């Protein structure tokens, strides 16, 4: 009767956890659900939520009868969670001191005597869920299946949270680009508030910030355009013929003297 009650309660805990993971918005939301559910589903004395961080295992959070490794990082090669992620399969260890995969020195200060660890996402694991007991034992096949189901739901929740983060970052970048585009567009407008610039009708110079400047200076100051001078065909046609004929060359213009003969 007690066993039946435990199974029913554990199944209810798993269903509740999956539902909460479906609406998780942050990694903290995911962590809080997983660390509690993993312990309740298996009846463990402790549970750890582990994330892969490059070549390290980051023990992000825990729910335990005594402190374990929260906040610490261990190399993938020196940690059972790393072994699980690298081999993409669960590890069930009834007695940690009889298994060479366990870094015994890291476990001696703790209450842990046995454990089970499953990967979060079988293809390309991004983390692991570990549960721990204060006495030697092995979880039932049903408990292992439930723990793996929790890990699979966790993988989906993490993917959703990370996709939302990417979307938020993209939106932030789009807002930044729109702001910059508006600034550049405003900068390119005429400088006067009325949309007009005063020009001296005799000198053809422009009044900018209380100073009269040339067209060349205006273009360079306001728009970054450097002006060089040349002579257009219309300008050539307006020259006084007595000054001489003009030939255009690749380097500019040349004047050829036309002396009158007597």
Query: Residue 37 and residue 21: Cα distance in Å, rounded?
Result: 11
Q: Which is higher by pLDDT, 213 or 167?
A: 213
Give me the mean pLDDT over the 58-81 stretch: 96
Choose the weakest-confidence range: 97-101, 127-131, 166-170, 189-193.
189-193
Please state the φ and ψ torsions of residue 32, each to the nearest 5 degrees. -65, -35
Q: Where are the alpha helices (DSSP H) in the chain?
A: 2-22, 27-42, 80-87, 104-107, 141-187, 215-223, 233-238
Please state the φ and ψ torsions of residue 227, each to the nearest 5 degrees. -100, 130
pLDDT(11) > 90: no
| Confidence category of residue 4, pLDDT binned at 50, 70, 90 | low
Coil, strand or helix at 108: coil
pTM of the predicted model as reported, rounded to 2 decimal places: 0.63
pLDDT(253) > 60: no
pLDDT(199) > 90: no
Give me the mean pLDDT over the 75-87 stretch: 96
pLDDT(241) > 60: no
Cα 121 to Cα 90, 106, 154, 256, distances in angstroms: 11, 26, 8, 85
Find where tokens 């205006």 sit: 218
Per-residue pLDDT tens over the stretch 140-157: 888 999 999 999 999 999
Query: Residue 144 and residue 78: Cα distance in Å, rounded?
Result: 23
Q: What is the pLDDT of residue 45?
A: 97
Give me the mean pLDDT over the 192-218 stretch: 76
pLDDT(198) > 60: yes
| Confidence category of residue 237, pLDDT binned at 50, 70, 90 | low
CA angle 21, 115, 64 (to 5 degrees): 60
pLDDT(238) > 80: no
Chain mean pLDDT for the chain: 82
Q: Give the number of other CB atoms < 10 A from CB of residue 252.
A: 10
Please state the φ and ψ torsions of residue 210, each to the nearest 5 degrees. 85, 0
Which domains does the chain possess?
2-161 (3.30.450.40), 184-229 (no CATH), 230-262 (no CATH)
Q: What is the pLDDT of residue 156?
A: 92
Give me the mean pLDDT over the 226-244 stretch: 66
Number of helices and strands in the chain (H, E): 7, 10
pLDDT(219) > 50: yes
**pLDDT above 70 coverage of the chain, percent:** 82
């Amino acid at each position: 009767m007690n066993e039946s009650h435990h199974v029913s309660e554990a199944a209810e805990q798993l269903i509740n956890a999956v539902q909460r993971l479906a609406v998780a918005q942050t990694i903290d939301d995911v962590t809080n659900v997983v660390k509690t559910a993993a312990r309740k589903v298996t009846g463990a004395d402790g549970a750890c939520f582990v994330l892969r961080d490059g070549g390290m295992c980051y023990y992000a959070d825990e729910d335990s009868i005594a402190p374990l490794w929260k906040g610490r990082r261990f190399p993938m090669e020196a940690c059972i969670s790393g072994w699980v992620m690298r081999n993409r399969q669960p590890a069930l260890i009834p007695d940690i001191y009889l298994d060479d995969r366990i870094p015994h020195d890291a476990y001696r200060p703790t209450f842990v005597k046995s454990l089970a660890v499953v990967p979060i996402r079988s293809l390309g694991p991004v983390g692991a869920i570990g549960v721990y007991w204060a006495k030697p034992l092995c979880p039932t096949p049903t408990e292992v299946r439930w723990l793996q189901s929790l890990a699979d739901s966790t993988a989906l929740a993490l993917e959703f949270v990370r996709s939302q983060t990417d979307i938020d970052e993209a939106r932030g970048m789009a807002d930044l680009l729109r702001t910059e585009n508006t600034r550049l567009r405003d900068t390119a407008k005429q400088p006067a508030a009325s949309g007009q610039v005063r020009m001296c009708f005799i000198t053809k110079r422009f009044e900018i910030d209380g100073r009269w400047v040339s067209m060349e200076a205006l273009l360079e100051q306001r728009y970054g355009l450097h002006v060089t001078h040349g002579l257009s065909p219309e300008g050539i046609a307006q020259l006084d013929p007595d000054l001489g004929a003009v030939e255009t060359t690749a380097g500019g213009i040349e004047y050829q003297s036309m002396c009158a003969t007597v």
